Structure 1
Amino acid sequence: MAVVLGPNRYGKAETRVVRVTRGPGGHRIKDCNVGVALSGDMDDAHLGRSNAAVLPTDSQKNTVYAFAARHGIEQIEDFALLLARHFVESQRAVHHARVSVEEYPWEPVAGGGHSFAGRGGESRTCVAHHDRDGTATVVSGLAGLVLLNTTGSEFRGFAVDEYTTLAPAADRVLATAVTAMWRHTKTHSGYGESRERARGGLVAAFAGTHSRSLQQTLYAMGERVLADGPELCEVRLSLPNRHHFLVDLTPFGIRNDDEVYQVADRPYGLIEGAVLRAGAPAAGFAFD
């Protein structure tokens, strides 16, 4: 049986790095989880002939720490691009580098200049790609943005089969924890401002849309992000439906006037989709 080696990559996953910047006006902290994946001329390593093309993953980890010390970490997109470019330019066998960063935000605690509080479960994300020919792509995003509307959401007129028990809802609680990624048309400065506009658009569209389905809300959120961000060409969203069910209190002689709910964490509906600017270039592996 003839077999051949297919697409492959390797790297160092989940290098956790905390960079503290100390200044007279107080300290700043960047808390990041960095993933590196490299691909290129790696056939000899896979086929047992030579490891000469393989930069150890331990070296990749050390590079993350060294670059954090030497260059600092401002916008995570810039840091990811810097690392990706370095691995391609410094290693002849590497033709493509993918660097992902997840940032866990901290907020200063008033009064000390050196104390911080974590900002819950929301995190910032990015993925940067760099090719041997110099092509670079950047995808920014966020995860764990929890949103809830207590009204202004319905779900009815859906398909029904012999297993359907769900009753149509003319008014319901709609809640989700947003994972969003948005693709930049080109590398640029101002990733932080772009992220704030995108996040604000997601929140505003969720709050301002009378939802007939979570699918409709997804489209409205992606459409708003693209409307507010001319530097962006595509948004991808993953929206779990955090179901809130009215609790039946009649056995206790209590009337529940849409006030007390049970939150079901699983199973849950999962709505995913992409919204693209018309004529946007193909994403390829940019979201990988």
Structure 2
Amino acid sequence: MKKRDPDLNIIYVTGETFTNELIEAIQQKKDTSDFHGKYRSADVLLVDDVQFIGGKESTQEEFFHTFNILHAAGKQIVLTSDRPPKDIRILEDRIRTRFESGLITDISMPDFETRVAIIRRKAELLDLNIPDDVAEFIANRLKSNIRQLEGAVKRLKALKSLADSAPSLSMAQSVIRDILTDEQPTPVTVENIIQEVSNLYGVTPEDIRSKKRSQQISNARKVAIYLVHDITQMTLAAIGEEFGNRDHSTIVYAVKYVVNNMKKDSDFRDAIESISKTIRDGSGK
């Protein structure tokens, strides 16, 4: 795209960075004109992990207007997400409909031949000669993530330089072992869950663990207790200790309260399912 038109203003940003830049603009300058100027002047706007803006009202408001301005001007907008628009919870309908108005493509896992081609192409770019058996060995063991494949080739390049020898199956085994070890899921902790809930409700983790009884804090506490119970499978007694040494009956009440509300209120259920998915997905990063 840049080769065809070097003057194109192409902006790449993640959903998280977009949110953080907006927060910084509001907090530090009380003026979002520079922020507007940056994103609304794009010829091509690429937003990765756009699902991150789900549940963030100010960010969705800002993105809604940015999207409309660029779309009306005939600019290109490319969004990526780990799920289709209909599955992004706590997302305003007006945002969802705009996400669904364009071409939606599901990028599935590459097949064996494609994985081998990716490995060979990356090796070519790094001026690395990888034997066929090594390329096929890597492709057979790293099946779900293109970044893993590219990372494996980069590590092979580094090993080749250190060992001063051609890439071998033993090198490939070492590289794959390192990559899979690096990407082991991080266990979900009670702290992770409480932090995520506190962000959603606009309270602090200390509030949730405290004896405070305001409705907002109380509701956040019940949701956090339910999610800890649902995700970690800890005993009720252990959960009570995590939440300020609350007794068994308090924990049972909180779990039942959330379960009953999920049955009666579909929006509430969607919100709980969304935050639960966010927490579980975060453990795999």
Q: TM-score, normalised by structure 2?
A: 0.21
Greater share of strand residues, 1 or 2?
Answer: 1
